[in-house]
Amino acid sequence: MSSRIWPIMRKEFLEIWRDPRNLGFVLVMPVLMLLLYGYGISSDVKWVPLAVYDRDGRSPARELVRRFTSTEYFVVTAQVGSLREFRRAIDTGQAKVGLVIPEDFSQNLAAGRPAPIQFVVDGSDSNTASIAVGNIAAIGKSTELTPRDLRPQILVAPKLETPVPIELRTWVWYNPELKSSNFLIPGLTAVILMMLAAMLTSLTVAREWERGTMEGLIASPLRPHELMIGKILPYVVIGLVDVVFILLVAVFLFRVPMRGSLTLLMISSTIFLLGGLGIGLFISAATKSVQVAFQLSTLATMLPALLLSGFFYPIENMPPILQAITYLVPARYFLVVIRGIFLKGVGLAVFWKELVFLSVFAVFMLVASSAKFRKRLE
Amino acid sequence: MNSELAIEVTDITKRFGRFVAVDRVSFQVRRGEVFGFLGPNGSGKSTTIRMLCGILLPTAGTGRVAGFDVARQPERVRENIGYMSQKFSLYEELTVQENLDFFAGIYGLAGPGGAARREEVMALGGLASYRNVLARDLPGGLRQRLALASAILHRPSVLFLDEPTAGVDPISRRQFWDLIRAMAAAGTAVLVTTHYMDEAEHCHALAFIYQGRLIATGPPARLKAGLQGSLVEVEVEPGQLLPALTVLQTHPLAREAAMFGAALHVTVDSSEAIPTLQASLTARGIAARRVETIVPSLEDVFVSLVTREVGA
């Protein structure tokens, strides 16, 4: 390695260190993004407001209500005494879910007869509704009442009395509580790293143009690849520090299980980062303005990583053209790797193909931007 | 090639699309010579320098710097030149010492020899007591000397200075020129652009550039002597400056007339025209306080050359 690379790295670190905005940008922003998105996008449905119309009023009925409200999934917001009030609670949105306990509930239970109760779910928010229905069934199952006794229905559908012919016993692997953060946080890590990497390099080069220091560098005997490597390496280091930060937040704050190899995670992250840094260099060859570099790098990395990586929307559900495009989005591959390491604890044997693609992408981006860079220097 | 020649430019041309920024410019600079490049903003001075530093590729023509072709051997050229750009290539968040360390690093001046050289240029630029000050906190004159110090760390044989004194106070400017002359005396060839005419007097040779073309070259004294006819300075009451200018510009004996500070400069074929000029002014009710021939300044030469160029 040429000795001219070291002075550039040193200068780069000093510049980052001296400007508190840089430091905030580099170290605080990723964690902040993780917190905002992590809490903001969570698809867990908790503390669903529940209206209770208890026509029985005896202790087994109260016990049933307690079963539901002792979890963090439901909270009673209305105790109603008539069907009209019950209706109004749902209509006004005071409650999203209503529970009706018939007068003969305790009697049926005592007599060993099926004791149906009725749930009414506000289906206007279909997402919340279907998750709430799932939670109702899950809680119902865990009580001594049999699932058959619980009849979740979407807004006053006719009661069904047919017994359930097949008994499902679902066993969810890797994420048994189906906690959305377990799924989202590793994906967010990919989005944040990609965006950060592209932004950091495109900004550092654009800044040299804007301040006029690039001219001095061009007039020096510095070779283009020395400048590029000297500018990339510091940000690889910073990117890895960010990976550690994100990892700490993920594991200790969001309680995402980290089941795989830390070394493998760091190596994969480095490869992924290099690709992002390459995108940044490529962008910086296209613009000399810090502002434009910022916008371009956000656009070129955040949107694909967010929308086309399988982070938000499953790739299988996309139209074929979009599916084809996702093959060019590095985050798609990194997502497989990082979810694999975090949640499944799997290794190279499972995702070596993804790592190969990420490596090829990184090399391609760096070579391509280096070629473009060279021309700018002449 | 002549080893005395540090810069040799032949018909160098730069076009940006249809705009000709530099049009067949040729000149030579010897070792130890301070060569001044004069012209208004946008006349092609910086573009010429950038081509000679290997930053811009010439569209046509050749340039040799320190014996190397700027188009074919840009890397060799860069090893032998120092370049101080208009904006000063300094890193604002780095201290004086760190800026010098950085440039020493990219010019491969590590080790004890490099450290000694850094101290040397720091002393030369009077920067030693500011070594731990951030570049962004330095006043203009010191920034300029730090930029110069960074550009000469590697002892270049050719030094390019692009408007080095823009926005710098007069005392710093004079100190700066003392430094430049000392370096030239030690054998460095210096090409400096400026639009301060008074600075041009410091140069051994000058080139006037206007709209991309070289309109005159030569030592300052010869350029002044080459001004055809004689130069007459006319001093009138301040309120009569404009009417007087109108009279003189249309006067048959005056070749050119221009404002020059609070006075007027008129070029005439011979000093015998003075009484006639005076009479014409008096006839219009303008009392000339003083009408006499003077030694032309470089600005007069420039104005005259440009007027001729535009008229041609």
| Residue pLDDT tens, chain A, 378 long | 467 899 999 999 998 888 777 778 788 888 888 888 777 766 667 788 889 999 888 888 888 888 888 877 888 888 998 888 888 888 888 888 888 888 888 888 788 777 788 888 887 777 777 777 777 777 766 555 444 444 444 433 334 344 334 445 556 566 666 667 777 888 888 888 898 889 888 888 888 888 888 888 888 888 888 888 898 999 999 999 999 998 898 889 888 888 889 999 999 999 999 999 999 988 887 788 888 888 898 888 888 888 888 877 778 888 888 888 888 889 889 988 998 898 888 888 888 999 999 999 999 988 888 877 765 554
List of chain B residues whose C-beta atoms are within 8 Å of the C-beta of residue A7: 101-102, 104-106
Using CA coordinates, name the residue in chain B closest to A3.
B108
Interchain contact, A213 vs B110, CB within 8 Å: no
User: Is A128 part of any domain?
Assistant: yes
* Euclidean distance between CA atoms A126 and A121, whole angstroms: 10
* Per-residue tokens: B100: 């010098």
* Euclidean distance between CA atoms A285 and B55, whole angstroms: 16
Helix and strand totals (H; E) in chain B: 11, 14
Q: Clarify whether residues A125 and A87 are in a common domain.
A: yes
* Euclidean distance between CA atoms B84 and A216, whole angstroms: 7
Out of B54, B94, B151, the one facing A11 most closely (by C-beta) is: B94
Q: How many domains does chain A have?
A: 2
Out of A4, A6, A215, the one facing B89 most closely (by C-beta) is: A215
Q: Clarify whether residues A262 and A301 are in a common domain.
A: yes
Q: Clarify whether residues A139 and A277 are in a common domain.
A: no
CATH number at residue A56: 3.40.1710.10
pLDDT (average), residues B208-232: 82
Interchain contact, A215 vs B85, CB within 8 Å: yes
Q: Clarify whether residues B19 and B73 are in a common domain.
A: yes
List, for residues B151-195, the tens digit of each pLDDT value: 999 999 999 999 888 778 888 888 889 999 999 999 999 999 987
Q: Clarify whether residues B196 and B260 are in a common domain.
A: no
List of chain B residues whose C-beta atoms are within 8 Å of the C-beta of residue A220: 78, 83, 103, 106-107
Check if B101 contacts A (Cβ < 8 Å).
yes
Phi and psi angles of residue A138, each rounded to the nearest 5 degrees, phi first: -65, -45
User: Is B310 part of any domain?
Assistant: no
Interchain contact, B81 vs A19, CB within 8 Å: no
Q: Clarify whether residues A35 and A53 are in a common domain.
A: no
Q: Interhelix angle for B241-249 vs B274-283, to 10°?
A: 120
Does B88 score more than 80 pLDDT?
no
- Letter string b/e over residues A309-323, b meaning 16 or more CB atoms within 10 A of that residue's CB: bbbeeebeebeeeee
Q: Clarify whether residues A23 and A137 are in a common domain.
A: no
pLDDT given for residue A148 in this prediction:
44
Residues 66-85 of B with CB under 8 A from A: 74-75, 78-79, 81, 83, 85
Q: How many domains does chain B have?
A: 2
Out of B105, B150, B151, the one facing A4 most closely (by C-beta) is: B105
Interchain contact, A212 vs B86, CB within 8 Å: yes
Does A314 or B49 have the greater pLDDT score? Answer: B49
Q: Interhelix angle for A224-248 vs A180-211, to 10°?
A: 150
Nearest to A205 by CA among A224, A220, A221: A224
pLDDT given for residue B98 in this prediction:
95
* Per-residue tokens: B96: 């004086």
Q: Clarify whether residues A185 and A312 are in a common domain.
A: yes
Using CA coordinates, name the residue in chain B closest to A213.
B89
Question: How does strand B60-65 pair with strand B68-69?
Answer: antiparallel
Check if B93 contacts A (Cβ < 8 Å).
yes
Interchain contact, A220 vs B107, CB within 8 Å: yes
User: Is A172 part of any domain?
Assistant: no
In contact, B91 and A15? CB cutoff 8 Å: yes
Interchain contact, A7 vs B94, CB within 8 Å: no
Enclosing domain of residue A140: 48-154
Out of A3, A218, A378, the one facing B110 most closely (by C-beta) is: A3
* Per-residue tokens: A22: 């840089």
Enclosing domain of residue B67: 5-224
A5 to chain B nearest CA, in Å?
A: 8
* Euclidean distance between CA atoms A315 and B263, whole angstroms: 80
Mutation target among B59, B89, B160 for the A interface, most CBs of A within 10 A: B89
Out of A6, A19, A378, the one facing B93 most closely (by C-beta) is: A19
List of chain B residues whose C-beta atoms are within 8 Å of the C-beta of residue A221: 75, 78-79, 106-108
List, for residues B248-276, the tens digit of each pLDDT value: 888 888 888 888 778 888 888 887 888 88
Least confident of A57-61, A79-83, B201-205, B221-225: B221-225
Q: Clarify whether residues A91 and A114 are in a common domain.
A: yes
Question: How does strand B254-260 pair with strand B263-268?
Answer: antiparallel
Using CA coordinates, name the residue in chain A closest to B79.
A221
* Euclidean distance between CA atoms B8 and B2, whole angstroms: 9
* Euclidean distance between CA atoms A65 and A87, whole angstroms: 19
Give the number of A-B residue pairs with CB atoms closer than 8 Å: 85
* Euclidean distance between CA atoms A272 and A268, whole angstroms: 6
pLDDT given for residue A152 in this prediction:
44
Q: Which of these three, B199, B224, B249, is where a domain ends? A: B224
CATH number at residue B281: 3.30.70.920
Q: Clarify whether residues A104 and A204 are in a common domain.
A: no
Q: Clarify whether residues A264 and A132 are in a common domain.
A: no
